[in-house]
Amino acid sequence: MSSSEKNISPLAASVGSVWGVGEERAKLLARLEIFTVEDLLLHNPRRYEDRRKFLPIRDLKEKEPATVRGTIIAAGIKRFQKGARSLFECVFDDGTARLHCRWWQAQAWMPDWYAVGREFLIYGKLDNEKKPRTFTHPETEYCEPGDDEFIHVNRIVPIHPLTEGLTARVMRSIIWRALEKYENELSVAGCKLRVENSVFATPKELLTFNFQPATLPERAAAVRMIHFPEELTDVEFARQRLALDEFVALQFQIQSRRKKFEAFTKALPCGGDNRLMKPFLSALGFKLTAAQANVLKEIRADMGGAHPMRRLLQGDVGSGKTAVAACSALMAIESGFNVALMAPTEILAEQHFRNFSKWFEPLGIKVEIQTGSRKIVSAPLLKSAVRGKPFTFNLQPSTLFIGTHALFTTGFDLPMLGLVIIDEQHKFGVTQREALVRKGNYPHLLVMTATPIPRTLGLTLYGDLDISVIDELPGGRGAIKTFVRTTEKLPKVFEFIREKIASGRQAYIVYPRVDVADTDKDIKAVTKEFANVQKALTGFKVGLLHGRVKAAEKEAVMAEFRANKIQALVATSLIEVGVDVPNATIMLIENAEHFGLAQLHQLRGRIGRGAHESFCILISDALNEESQARLKILEETNDGFKIAEADLKLRGPGELLGQQQSGAMRLRFGNLAEDLNLIRQARELVRKQI
Ligand code: ADP
Ligand code: MG
């Protein structure tokens, strides 16, 4: 055996090494992403059945799912509608009563499988209280004679996620056997987690790092317990242990990546000397809030420090992140470096361009912009961009370069780049972020997001970044009132909007779609509603904005809206990010149930920016309780942090983060909405180790 082979854990062996897993079953398991023995052992059950005692069929109750055990005494197929529909039915008897089980669309294998005389375990619930007692589409398990009965009954048994061709019983048996054979290996093995490919390789130390928190079972015991618990209460205990292992693996990656980053990189001195900051602040027209000033202190310490800054600035919509970005940019520029600012949309890039030009040009700082549709920057640079080669351009230090994400990924190389600011880009993975920044050779990095990040995510997905929070809104803002209403109330709502517009204010009116889709005619679309809104608001000018409007026109519409030449803007969620028009005080969102909570909060953040009172009206006819509960949260609070935590609990991290990151982190046991304490524990454990 070579030395490298010796280091491979036996748990990394293919599932084929488990007795009972041949080529066919290995293929089926692969469909569940189970390739190794370890994958198999960590296949988390989706539920449990207490089979220590079976309920007599006689005692079954409607609405209460239960497991019974019975023998088939009759079975057959019924056909309806000239054979178009078929029903397979069999009758079980357990000595106390009979139970009819039925499946619509009988399958060819059913008569053989559900043969008279065979014994089954049946899990389901009564269709109703009527006789005969009937289960429709129950889950069943054949009690094969000679099978390892002790694995499957007289205990609490796991029901695992399955795939066609693989029964719960087979899955349970092979996991049982894998446990018997490999349990000892688990006690020394570390934990494995598929985390997105990082800039730096996964640390090898992970394989040998072992730890035992006093309050939780050992890893090997936890794995057994998660499949075959003595009591149902053991399951959560075991889950926590296995979740902790996952979080430890994750922290190991995050912390060692950070450590290596600090070891291999040196910071550019960008602390600044205030010579531009002073005139900037006095011309700004307002005083920074205490929260903004605090964050700037943290940023200055980073930019003047030994390692490149990696900081996430989190501040609710309207908290004034742009001013903080401007001050940070000035620090780098004062120190003789250039700065790049990346915005997620062209509208936002244009808005930043306008603001920053107004602020910076009087100070003698050049501000450049390049977006998909606007190419102001010098011709040679563009030519090389077209040829697909990275381009370098000659600018004197003290330029602020603004662009969209697309521009930055086509490859560019800004000389003397001291600071990269990414605005509103919470949907970026670490790798993407680093790839962007590394083009500029480890400049400082400031990522700004208006989506408040629940602490669990701050410590995991954003664990590479230090986090600053602006937790205070500038004063002098009117309050925002939020109401949830049904479409029935729309005429009244438009009446209200007319009044507000007549008194000089402006409104956003948002729909989920650009066009009406054939499949879902109930979801309103801007292109169709535009005419209706114009009618409802006759006498006022209404603008239209969505993803397919050409960029030049978008900018023209926004300019008119800013100048109050347009009083109402019909738009998709395109206006979600960053747009700042203080005179707009009305936000009407139809089909509100089609937006995520965080997204609705973002949209609402477009109003409440001036001194006037603002109104957010969410229209929804959604009847289901979850939708109602979600919208209610918005009515109750303006606190983005509370909303984000609620959203995370209701919808999971995927919605909050976008595919990029949630896909990168498949936790089998950990729960990013609930496990803050475990995550903290993991972080401390790893801190002590490395
Ligand atoms: P966001 O954090 O959502 O990006 P912005 O930076 O767009 O917020 O700021 C929202 C509005 O508040 C802007 O009009 C900005 O000029 C204003 N603003 C920012 N900081 C202050 C402050 N300290 N006092 C008063 N107004 C401020
Ligand atoms: Mg902003």
- Please give the pLDDT value at position 442: 81
Q: How many helices (H) and strands (E) does the chain have?
A: 25, 23
Could you tell me the distance, in angstroms and rounded to a whole number, from the CA of residue 448 to the centre of ligand 2?
Answer: 8
Q: Is the CB of 318 under 6 A from ligand 1?
A: yes
Whether residue 606 has its Cβ less than 6 Å from ligand 1 = no
The answer on 490 and 464 residing in a single domain is no
Whether 488 and 596 share a structural domain = yes
Please identify, among 407, 440, 470, the residue that sits at the C-terminal boundary of a domain: 470
Q: Does residue 464 share a domain with residue 338?
A: yes
* Separation CA 409–CA 405 (nearest Å): 6
**Ligand 1 pocket residue status of 292, Cβ below 6 Å:** yes
Tell whether 484 and 401 lie within a shared domain: no
The reply to whether 183 and 212 lie within a common domain is no
Sign of CA dihedral 182, 183, 189, 191: positive
- 505/581 same-domain check: yes
- Same-domain check for residues 162 and 66: no
- Domain shared by 460 and 522, yes or no: no
> Does a structural domain hold residue 3?
yes
373 and 505, same domain (yes or no): no
Ligand closest in space to the Cα of 326: 1
Specify the pLDDT at position 378. Answer: 42
Say if CB 612 and CB 477 are below 8 A apart. no
In whole angstroms, what is the distance from residue 592 CA to residue 511 CA?
A: 8
Among 443, 470, 497, residue at a domain's last position: 470
Omega of the bond leading into 132 within 30 degrees of 0 (cis): yes
Q: Are residues 487 and 416 in the same domain?
A: no
160-175 pLDDT, tens digit per residue, is: 999 988 999 999 999 9
Distance 20 CA to ligand 2 centre (A): 58
What pLDDT, on a 0 to 100 scale, did the predictor assign at position 199? 38
Q: How close is the Cα of 107 to the center of ligand 1, in Å?
A: 64
Query: Is the CB of 314 within 6 Å of ligand 1?
Result: no
Burial (CB < 10 A; 0-12, 13-18, 19+), residue 145, is exposed
In a domain, 679, yes or no: yes
Residue ending a domain, among 154, 177, 200, is: 154
Q: Look at residues 53, 69, 59, 54 and name the one whose alpha carbon lies nearest to residue 101.
A: 69
Ligand nearest to the CA of 578: 2
Alpha-carbon distance of 579 to 286, in angstroms, equals 19
Provide the pairing of β-strand 66-80 with 119-124.
Answer: antiparallel
**β 85-93/98-104 pair status:** antiparallel
**Is the distance from the beta carbon of residue 317 to the nearest atom of ligand 1 less than 6 Å?**
yes
The gap from C-alpha 100 to its chain's centroid, in whole angstroms, comes to 44
Look up the domain containing 129 and give its range.
Answer: 59-154
Q: In one letter, which amino acid is 537?
A: L
The CA 17 to ligand 1 mean position distance, Å, reads: 62
* d(C-alpha 609, C-alpha 607), whole Å: 5
Bridge pairing between strands 338-343 and 399-404: parallel
Q: Is residue 271 part of a domain?
A: no
Which atom of ligand 1 is nearest to 287's Cα? Answer: 23
Q: What is the CATH number of the domain that holds 132?
A: 2.40.50.140
SS3 of 461, please? coil
Distances (CA, A) of 564 to 501, 543, 567, 581, 607: 10, 11, 6, 9, 15
Transcribe 303-354 into DSSP letters: HTSSS--EEEEEE-TTS-HHHHHHHHHHHHHHTT-EEEEEESSHHHHHHHHH
Tell me, yes or no, whether 357 lies in a domain: yes
Same domain, 258 and 284: no
In this structure, what CATH number is given to the domain that contains residue 355?
3.40.50.300
User: Element (H or E) spanning 680, and its range?
Assistant: helix 676-689
Q: Which residues of 595-606 are buried (b: 16+ CB within 10 A; e: fewer)?
A: bbbbbbbbbbbb
User: If you count them, how many residues does the chain have?
Assistant: 690
Cβ-Cβ contacts under 8 Å for 147 (sequence gap 6 or more): 169, 173
Q: Are 598 and 451 in contact (CB under 8 A)?
A: yes
CB proximity list for 679: less than 8 A, separation 6 or greater: 247, 251, 456, 459, 460, 670
Token pair belonging to 106: 């009988």
Ligand 1 atom 18: residue of nearest CA:
320
* DSSP H helices in 563-624: 597-604
Half-sphere exposure of 161 (CA within 13 A, CB side): 14
Q: Under a CB-based contact definition with an 8 Å cutoff, are residues 365 and 358 in contact?
A: no
**Integer Cα distance of 152 and 123 in angstroms:** 13
Contact 236, 45 (CB under 8 A): no
According to the model, what pLDDT value does residue 387 have?
40
Task: Find the radius of gyration of the CA atoms of the chain.
Answer: 31
Does 269 map to a domain?
no
User: Residue 272 domain-assigned?
Assistant: no
Same structural domain for residues 523 and 601?
A: yes
d(CA 251, CA 389): 37
Cα 327 to ligand 2 centre (Å): 14
Task: Please indicate whether residue 609, judged by its CB atom, sits closer than 6 Å to ligand 1.
Answer: yes
pLDDT-flagged residues of the chain (< 70): 1-8, 187-210, 372-397, 406-413, 425-441, 576-578, 652-666
Ligand 1 pocket check for 289: Cβ under 6 Å = yes
Q: Is residue 662 part of a domain?
A: no
Element at 570 (helix H, strand E): strand 568-571
Domain count for the chain, please give it.
Answer: 5
Q: With respect to residue 270, please indicate whether it lies within any of the assigned structural domains.
A: no
For residue 246, how far is its CA from the centre of ligand 2 (angstroms)? 35
Q: Are 661 and 433 in contact (CB under 8 A)?
A: no
- At residue 438, the pLDDT reads 63
Supply the CATH number for residue 43's domain: 1.10.150
DSSP-assigned letters across all residues of 524-550: -BHHHHHHHHHHHTTTS-EEEE-TTS-
Choosing from 288, 580, 607 the residue with most ligand 1 atoms within 8 A of its CB, the one to mutate for a pocket test is 580
Q: Give me the residues paired with residue 157 across strands.
A: 49
Region of 154 (left: φ > 0; alpha: ψ -120 to 50; beta: rest) is left
**Residue 284: nearest ligand to its CA?**
1
Q: Is 258 near ligand 1, meaning CB less than 6 Å away?
A: no
